[in-house]
Structure 1
């Protein structure tokens, strides 16, 4: 199963709705396909202009390494040399913190990733997870 534009739009809309429900700071959300290509992006009013790159970096790290941002951060804390090497390998595009969430289909296959930024990393991850689940897919934060 591929991650469609329709599902990506559902994820973005539901992620932003969760952010509003939780009264988070203005969020930016990006949805990537399984190859790391952008399917959808939205930046709320008031979000800083650099947020696209941060959101993409969170999602890109998840898709390229096959692990959510929470696992990436733990790996960075335990093996900083590994994450430094990965960031070098991927031209500095990996942001290894919560808010980068893998998207899995019903069979467990990785079909994309979502990156959210704007609030605390943990809140970003919670909003992304809500968006993914609203699209009836499985999140791995």
Structure 2
């Protein structure tokens, strides 16, 4: 039997706080979502000035990263390159999931605890903010 750690609300708040610091540096109007390993929403924060659509996109990016255990930018690159069939993944999950840059899995040892999704700015800025959030896990 394997015991798997789970994200707690305090973890989600640490991830979000680190993301907000990075977003402040970019003056970014983004939404930040944290989901568990099953892609279920644990925390959503929509920063002032961010669009309503960014909230849905952040959740969908986080869900895709959690269910695949991979960064969504890598999935997006595969779809745009040699694996367009990966577009079908979103339809298999039964809930919105997006293979767009800005979603990163939250990994601990060999386990995916969940993921963070950031949306509202460019792919580079969304990814940078998500990376800061990943670094906030455990702080």
TM-score between the two structures when normalised by the length of structure 2: 0.88
Indicate the residue corresponding to 1:13 in structure 2.
17
- Retained in 2: the 8 A contact 1:16–1:27? no
SS of the aligned residue for 1:116 comes to strand
- The equivalent position to 2:41 in structure 1, one of 14, 38, 42, is 38
Normalising by structure 1, we get a TM-score of 0.87
Aligned to 1:66: 69
| Distance in 2 of aligned mates of 1:99 and 1:41 | 14
1:91 to partner: Cα distance: 4.0
Cα RMSD (Å): 1.5
Which residue of 122, 127, 130 maps to 1:128? Answer: 130
For structure 2, list consecutive stretches of 5 or more residues without a partner in the other structure: none
Paired residue for 2:112?
110
Matched, 1:85 2:84: no
Segments of 5+ residues of structure 1 without an aligned counterpart are none
CA distance in 1, matches of 2:35, 2:91: 21
What is the aligned partner in structure 1 of residue 6 from structure 2? 2
- Residue 78 of structure 2 is matched in structure 1 by 75
Q: Tell me, in whole angstroms, the C-alpha distance in 1 between the residues paired with 2:113 and 2:36.
A: 6
